[in-house]
């Protein structure tokens, strides 16, 4: 019995909105009613791969069929208005104006989400200029642009400037802003922003001052473009909860303030003053990941200059070797730490660590709170045994020491480590073998 057809149109449209548009239109074979429903869809999701992988035609014919279907659906769509438009597409040289035509057809006073995932096999692919109407769409809530050939336009006229009062999520990946001030101007008109991702956005201007100052922002991901140079980056976000920042060393200056509500952060910066600036502001941080770049500057910082992270419960350090001085200095600043993760990078040359120095004072967390230590992608060295012996001896509440170790060079290491005395009777030493 066909019970689903008895449901009202509004419920069926809601169900169809969760499907890729091609899949939704397959229901038109059932009856004329489903054809009517599909042409009333408000949420459209097109993926070129769905046409490329499941048909016997060549890639050229599959692409043409894909574009014909998208164009036909958009041309016949009249009412109700489109609210969501998602497009995943591998562009050719001749596709620039076709894409701009698609965008103009979906733009309207009810569009809430525009998501363009664009790629190009050819490095010199088409330069897609996003129509100005996208950046003045007052109903837009989510805007995601991903593609190395997407360019941000300048307003066509002073009276047609940027205006995105409803935008809550802005995600830009590999987007080109030949004039960095365009991006600055766009951000200044996103007054309701809650999630911001700027990942490898090309700002070809040495004088740009980029300010990320939003009272409502809750999540920020910023990754600088390779070779990019900014004169100044300012982050002032009092409501921020999650922070992920990866910045190249060529940034002249980074200023941060009002990060006291951040609970989770990833920092990968090689400039000492910038790293310390973030750590000072992250006074309530609970989860912190320090990337490989920080090891170039933090081990050289005098311990008294590293702020105490009194709420931190999970710390992850990415390293090139077991730099015990760096690790112990960080443990001393994290009295409530419950989990310590140390991740080795295999793609960079391994450095010889400094000789082990027996700490004068046992870190507070090691004696009272630290329950789990995880060592990932570890290439063991006999010089590291003193460190493991120390944490097993002084880890009074330690529950597990988990080590991912290279099976080819760890002969005898697991057995030797398992024989070390441990103060916590509940402590288990677990090995996971890494095959490279």
- pTM, rounded to two decimals: 0.86
Least confident of 59-68, 72-81, 342-351: 342-351
User: Which pLDDT score is estimated for 68?
Assistant: 85
Q: Encode 363-394: b = buried (16+ Cβ within 10 Å), e = exposed.
A: bbbbbebbbbbbbbebbbeeebeebbebbbbb
**Residue-range domain boundaries for the chain:** 168-311, 313-436
Average pLDDT of the chain to the nearest whole number: 83
The answer to whether 156 touches 207, Cβ cutoff 8 Å, is no
Least confident of 323-337, 364-378, 403-417: 403-417
DSSP 335: T
- Condensed to tens digits (0 to 9), the pLDDT of residues 226-250 reads 556 677 889 999 999 999 999 876 6
User: Which pLDDT score is estimated for 1?
Assistant: 43
pLDDT at 355 over 50: yes
Which residue, 371, 415, 433, is CA-closest to 397? 371
Query: What's the order of all strands across the beta sheet hosting 209-213?
Result: 209-213, 232-236, 254-257
User: Which pLDDT score is estimated for 141?
Assistant: 97
């Amino acid at each position: 019995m066909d019970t689903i057809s008895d449901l009202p149109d509004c419920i069926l449209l809601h169900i169809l909105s969760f499907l890729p548009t091609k899949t939704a239109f397959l229901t038109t074979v059932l009856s004329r009613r489903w054809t009517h429903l599909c042409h009333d869809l408000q949420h459209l999701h097109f993926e070129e791969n769905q046409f490329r992988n499941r048909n016997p035609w060549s890639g050229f014919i599959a692409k043409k069929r894909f574009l014909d279907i998208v164009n036909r659906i958009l041309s016949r769509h009249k009412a109700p208005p489109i609210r969501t438009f998602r497009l995943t597409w591998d562009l050719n040289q001749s596709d620039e104006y076709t894409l701009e035509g698609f965008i103009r057809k979906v733009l309207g006073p009810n569009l809430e989400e525009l998501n363009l995932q664009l790629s190009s096999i050819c490095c010199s692919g088409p330069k897609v200029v996003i129509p100005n109407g996208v950046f003045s769409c007052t109903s837009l809530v989510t805007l995601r642009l991903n593609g190395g050939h997407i360019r941000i336009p300048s307003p066509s006229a002073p009276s047609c400037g940027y205006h995105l009062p409803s935008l809550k999520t802005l995600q830009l990946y590999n987007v080109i802003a030949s004039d960095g001030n365009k991006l600055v101007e766009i951000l200044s008109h996103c007054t309701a922003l809650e999630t911001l991702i700027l990942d490898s956005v090309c700002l070809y201007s040495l004088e740009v001052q980029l300010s990320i100052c939003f009272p409502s922002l809750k999540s920020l991901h910023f990754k600088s473009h390779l070779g990019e140079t900014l004169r100044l980056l300012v982050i002032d976000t009092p409501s921020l909860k999650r922070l992920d920042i990866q910045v190249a060393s060529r940034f002249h200056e980074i200023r941060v303030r009002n990060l006291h509500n951040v609970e989770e952060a990833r920092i990968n910066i090689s400039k000492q003053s910038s790293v310390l600036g973030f750590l000072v502001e992250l006074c309530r941080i609970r989860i912190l990941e320090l990337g490989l770049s920080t090891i170039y500057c933090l081990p050289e910082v005098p311990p008294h200059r590293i702020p105490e992270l009194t709420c931190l419960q999970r710390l992850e350090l990415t390293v090139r070797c077991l730099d015990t001085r760096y690790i112990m200095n960080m443990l001393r600043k994290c009295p409530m730490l419950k989990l310590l993760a140390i991740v080795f990078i295999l793609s960079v040359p391994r450095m010889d660590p400094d000789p082990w120095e027996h700490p004068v004072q046992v870190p507070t967390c090691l004696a009272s709170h630290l329950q789990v230590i995880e060592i990932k992608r570890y290439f063991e060295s006999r010089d590291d045994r003193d460190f493991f012996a120390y944490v097993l001896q002084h880890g009074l509440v330690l529950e597990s020491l988990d080590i991912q170790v290279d099976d080819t060079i760890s002969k005898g290491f697991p057995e030797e480590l398992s024989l070390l005395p441990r103060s916590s009777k509940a402590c288990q030493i677990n090995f996971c073998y890494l095959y490279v």
